[in-house]
Amino acid sequence: MSKQKLILSAIVFAVILVTIGETDFKKHVTKLIDSEAIYTVCFGAYLQKIFKQLRQENFPGFILSAQTATWYPVRSMPEANGVYIGSPITLLRL
């Protein structure tokens, strides 16, 4: 099965909310370590920490994120390599 098909078939089964100012996401990562995929939505500074901690814990699944992950300080870090970006499709009628 291709990665694209696998990602589309991923099921969201857990939502983990973090506290603003939190910097250690290890307890959240360990809860999701056996997941097929994880989707992260947050500010870029948090993404940097989350991506690093996911890689440190050897998260085996797919990592998906929102457009915030295209922010240069995030996308240029080695831990962001292989992260998929899901962007909304916007239709404009002019």
| Cβ-proximal residues to 29 (8 Å cutoff; 6+ apart), any chain | 50, 53, 54, 57, 59
pLDDT (tens digit per residue) in 46-94: 889 989 999 999 988 888 888 888 899 999 999 999 998 876 655 555 4
Q: Which token pair is 56?
A: 């440190």
pLDDT (tens digit per residue) in 1-25: 455 544 444 455 566 777 778 888 8
For 3-85, CATH number out of 3.40.1390.20, 3.40.50.2300, 3.40.50.1110, 2.30.130.10 equals 3.40.50.2300
Question: Tokens 């694209």 — which residue?
Answer: 4
pTM: 0.74
Strand partners, 63: 38
In angstroms, the CA 86 to CA 58 distance is: 22
